[in-house]
Amino acid sequence: MGGLASALALAKEGFNRIDVYEYASDLGFVGAGIQLAPNMARILDRLGVWEPIAKEATNIKDTSIRQGATNQELGHVELGYIEKTYGYPHMVGHRFSLANSMYEGCKKEKAITFYFNTKVESIDSFGPKPIITATPRDGSPPYKVEADVLLAADGIKSLIRVEMLKLLGVDAEITNTNQAAYRIMIHRDQIKDDPELLALLDSDTVTRWIGEKRHIIAYPVSNKTIYNLSTAQPDTNFAAAPSATYTTKGSKTAMLGVFDDFSPMIHRMLNYVPEGEVCEWKLRVHAPLPTWIYKTVALVGDACHPTLPHLAQGAAQAIEDGAVIAVVLSRLPDTSPESINKSLRVYEQVRKERAETLVELAAASGRTLHLGDGAAKEERDKQFAALKQGNGKVPDKWADADVQKNIYGFDCTKVTEDSFDEIFSSLSATNGPNTTNGTNGAAHA
Ligand SMILES: Cc1cc2nc3c(=O)[nH]c(=O)nc-3n(C[C@H](O)[C@H](O)[C@H](O)COP(=O)(O)OP(=O)(O)OC[C@H]3O[C@@H](n4cnc5c(N)ncnc54)[C@H](O)[C@@H]3O)c2cc1C
């Protein structure tokens, strides 16, 4: 997501040679839904790729937060106001539709070349001109690539982040959240004889069923042909068999067991999932990094701010990264490595605190949603009750208007355009980079 957005945004700014190296042989077809928040839509619209995504996405009108065990509604929030307030509705769609529309947009840009099926094997230099070794997976010999700027949008397991932290002498690791997620898609024909579930599929509602340490969030995608479910539960399977994998085929019996005490309707819903189509994801985050920038290399997306999905902002934040990077690089006064480094540090200044705040908020919202019996849960449920009377904050932070204001009301492109000169000149005045001895100001900050 971050790589596609960066490439497209840079091409739109007139950069004329953008090479994208991707391990996978194509975009893949990740069978999962994704929330398309207004801050993401705004950027994609400017990049000319929002329309096809919006066409098959669902325009969400409201959200219902329910007790998993009883299916009783705890809170209900109208979301129709979002479009009027932020210029774009809150939509939900298919992940492939999002990736594919950005990819189609990239393909129209002569400046962008994709190297699929190619692994970035190592980074040989972080600058002044970064050099990587790329290894085609078809057995062709590895080769070196030199660039003016290297953007590492290589996801939570980022190789470039690991190498960057080593050079900076920073001991920071991926953190276990002890949570895992099932991602499930139920097709219309599977539930055609189940009016209750068909009503959910035909709705414009995001529904969240919550219980102790677990929840399910669900919404219709792909022109309402698919009901998409994403869950969160204690990570027992990955924890029991630690390995490098983050995704695994899950067992349907185990999945039904996790939601054993949820309502019969939910059991019926989960039972529609065909055996063999249960996919489980390990949810991991990373401690905040001291910097995202080293020389002329920048980290992007999950490589530098992986998040729990409870605010539905991971991809949106990766796309914000791409939009901001395009602005800061388009404002370069010259193409010296020092200026590139400083511009990238403007990106870091605009993005880092915001992204890390949202990572923390997603974790906090998960803690609130997953409360077990006790005073804190009683307090939370009082808040839900007040909400039903039309007052107060929404304990599910994703649906809270003040949180939405901070997330959706922030136009990262405009903020960067407006603040670039000031931040750029403040960096040169106070902590200019020293790219010859392998450090930069941000790393010291
Ligand atoms: C259950 C769940 C639900 C979510 N729901 C939402 C949601 O509703 N809304 C939202 O905005 N976000 C959501 N997210 C988060 C979102 O999926 C991620 O934050 C987003 O995909 C991160 O994008 P990225 O580009 O940084 O990384 P990735 O999407 O992980 O992409 C990294 C890419 O780099 C490639 N790569 C890695 N290493 C190498 C290498 N050495 N050489 C070559 N290529 C390499 C990989 O193949 C991959 O294509 C959710 C996440 C989960 C787990």
* 197 close to ligand 1 (CB < 6 Angstrom): no
- Identify the band that residue 126 occupies on the pLDDT scale cut at 50, 70 and 90: very high
Enter the DSSP assignment of 140: P
* 219 close to ligand 1 (CB < 6 Angstrom): no
Give the integer Cα–Cα distance in Å for 78 and 60: 9
The 10s digit of each residue's pLDDT in 214-238 is 999 999 999 999 999 999 999 987 6
Q: Where in the chain is the domain with CATH 3.50.50.60?
A: 2-57+95-173+289-378+410-426
pLDDT at 245: 60
First to last CA, the chain: 29
DSSP string, 145-194: EE-S-EEE---TT-HHHHHHHHHHT----EEEEEEEEEEEEEEGGGGTT-
* 114 close to ligand 1 (CB < 6 Angstrom): no
pLDDT at 444: 26
The 10s digit of each residue's pLDDT in 322-333 is 999 999 999 999
Q: Where in the chain is the domain with CATH 3.30.9.30?
A: 175-285
Answer yes or no: is pLDDT of 442 > 50: no
Answer yes or no: is pLDDT of 156 > 50: yes
Question: Which token pair is 334?
Answer: 């010259």
Report CA-CA distances (Å) from 438 to 42, 117, 344, 347, 358: 37, 31, 16, 20, 31
**β-sheet bridge partners, residue 134:** 120, 143
The 10s digit of each residue's pLDDT in 379-416 is 999 999 888 887 789 999 999 999 999 999 999 999 99
**How many angstroms is it from 200 CA to the middle of ligand 1?**
28
Answer yes or no: is pLDDT of 110 > 90: yes
- Peptide bond connecting 128 to the previous residue in cis, omega within 30 degrees of 0: yes
Contact 394, 381 (CB under 8 A): no
CATH code at 175-285: 3.30.9.30
Enter the pTM of the model.
Answer: 0.94
| Atom 33, ligand 1: residue with shortest CA distance | 154
| Atom 17, ligand 1: residue with shortest CA distance | 315
pLDDT at 276: 84
Question: Which token pair is 142?
Answer: 């590895």
* 304 close to ligand 1 (CB < 6 Angstrom): no
Q: Which helix (H) or strand (E) holds 241?
A: none
Calculate mean pLDDT across residues 236-241: 67
Give the integer Cα–Cα distance in Å for 279 and 276: 8
**How many angstroms is it from 154 CA to the middle of ligand 1?**
8
* 1 close to ligand 1 (CB < 6 Angstrom): yes
Residue in the block written with tokens 């209900």? 76
Q: Thinking of the domain 2-57+95-173+289-378+410-426, which architecture would CATH place it in?
A: 3-Layer(bba) Sandwich (3.50)
Answer yes or no: is pLDDT of 441 > 50: no
- In 3D space, the residue among 260, 255, 279 whose CA is nearest the CA of residue 211 turns out to be 260
**How many angstroms is it from 253 CA to the middle of ligand 1?**
28
**Which is it for strands 174-187 and 279-286: parallel, antiparallel or unpaired?**
antiparallel
Calculate mean pLDDT across residues 233-260: 78
Share of the chain above pLDDT 90, in %: 84
Answer yes or no: is pLDDT of 13 > 70: yes
The 10s digit of each residue's pLDDT in 36-79 is 999 999 999 999 999 999 999 999 999 999 999 999 999 999 99
pLDDT at 440: 31
